[in-house]
Amino acid sequence: MCGIIGCAGRSEDTLDVLLSGLEGLEYRGYDSAGVALANGSLDVCKKQGEIARLQQAVGGLRGPVGIGHTRWSTHGPPTDANAHPHTDCTGDVAVVHNGIIENYEELKTELRERGHEFTSDTDSEVVPHLVEERLAEGASFEDAFRAAVARLEGSYALAAVTADSEAILATRHDSPLVVGVGDDAAYLASDVPAFLEYTDRVVYLEDGEFARLESGSWTVTDAEGRLLDKSISRVEWDAEETAKSGYDHYMLKEIHEQPRALRKALRGRVDEMTGSVDVESLAGLSPSSVQFVACGTSYHAALYGAQLLREEGVPAQAFLASEYATAPAPVDDDALVVGVTQSGETADTLSALREAHRRDVETLAMTNVVGSTATRECDRTLLIRAGPEIGVAATKTFSSQVVACNLLASTVARGEDAREVVGALRDLPGQVQELLDDSRAEQVADRFVDGAGYFFIGRGYHHPVALEGALKLKEITYKHAEGFPAGELKHGPLALVTDETPVFALATGDDEQATKTVGNVKEVEARDAPVVAVTDGVSDVGRYADEVLRVPETHPRVAPVLANVQLQLVAYHVANRLGRSIDKPRNLAKSVTVE
Query: What would the mean pLDDT of 527-533 be, rounded to a whole number?
Result: 93
**Residue 552 pLDDT exceeds 80:** yes
Residue numbers of the domain that contains 464 = 439-595
Active site residues: 2, 590
CATH code of residue 20:
3.60.20.10
CATH of residue 513: 3.40.50.10490
- 395 & 448 share domain: no
pLDDT at 334: 93
Residue 255: predicted pLDDT: 97
Distance CA 567, CA 481 (A): 12
Residues 6+ apart with CB under 8 A from 25: 3, 4, 5, 70, 189, 190, 191, 193, 194
Confidence tier at 595 by pLDDT (50, 70, 90): low
Q: Are 18 and 51 in contact (CB under 8 A)?
A: no
Q: How many alpha carbons lie under 13 Å from residue 497 in its C-beta half-sphere?
A: 26
Q: Do 175 and 194 belong to one domain? A: yes
Last residue of a domain, one of 400, 432, 464: 432
Q: How far is the C-alpha of 458 from the C-alpha of 485, rounded, in Å?
A: 5
- Is 485 found in the same domain as 386? no
Does one domain contain both 114 and 54?
A: yes
Residues 343 and 204 in one domain: no
The mean pLDDT value for 329-339 works out to: 92
How many whole angstroms separate alpha carbon 505 and alpha carbon 549? 10
pLDDT at position 183, please? 87
Percentage of the chain exceeding pLDDT 90:
71
Note the pLDDT tens digit of each residue in 72-96.
767 678 788 888 899 999 999 999 9
Residue from 185, 536, 575, 232 nearest 371 by CA: 232
Q: What would the pLDDT profile of 160-187 be if each residue is shown by its tens digit?
A: 999 989 999 999 998 889 999 998 899 9
517 and 540, same domain (yes or no):
yes
For the cut 80, the answer to whether the pLDDT of residue 53 exceeds it is: yes
pLDDT above 70: residue 238: no
Whether 239 shows a pLDDT value over 70: the answer reads: no
The number of folded domains in the chain is 3
Sheet of strand 481-485: strand arrangement: 481-485, 454-458, 503-507, 531-535, 547-550
Q: Which of 43-52, 278-287, 419-428, 433-442 has the lowest mean pLDDT?
A: 43-52
264 in the same domain as 230: no
List pLDDT tens digits, range 116-141.
999 998 999 999 999 999 999 999 99
- Order the strands of the 336-341 sheet from edge to edge: 316-320, 290-294, 336-341, 362-367, 380-383
Q: Does 541 share its domain with 497?
A: yes
Nearest to 95 by CA among 136, 124, 63, 117: 124
- Domain shared by 477 and 391, yes or no: no
- Of 432, 451, 468, which marks where a domain is finished? 432
CB 577 within 8 A of CB 450: no
Cα–Cα distance for residue pair 343/371, rounded to 1 Å: 10
DSSP string, 173-195: ESS--EEEE-SS-EEEESSGGGT
In a shared domain, residues 356 and 282: yes
Mean pLDDT of the chain: 91
- Indicate the residue among 415, 432, 449 that finishes a domain: 432
Between residues 532 and 275, the one the model is more confident about: 532
For residue 335, what pLDDT is reported?
95
* 55-64, 74-83, 327-336, 478-487: range with lowest mean pLDDT: 74-83
pLDDT category at 240 given cuts 50, 70, 90 is: low
Inter-residue contact 214 to 167 (CB < 8 Å):
yes
Q: What is the pLDDT of residues 176-227, one digit of tens each?
A: 899 999 988 999 998 888 898 899 999 999 999 999 999 879 999 999 999 9
Q: What share of the chain is helix, strand, coil (3-state, %, to 5)?
A: 35, 20, 40
Question: pLDDT tens digit string along 437-485?
Answer: 999 999 999 999 999 999 999 999 999 999 999 999 999 999 999 999 9
Claim: this prediction has a pTM higher than 0.85: no
Same structural domain for residues 83 and 229? yes
Cα–Cα dist 595/286, whole Å: 32
Residue of 349, 298, 318 lying closest to 595 (CA atoms): 349
Buried b (16+ CB within 10 A) or exposed e, 22-55: bbbbbbbbbbbbbbbbbbeebbbbbbbebbeebe
One domain, residues 577 and 445: yes
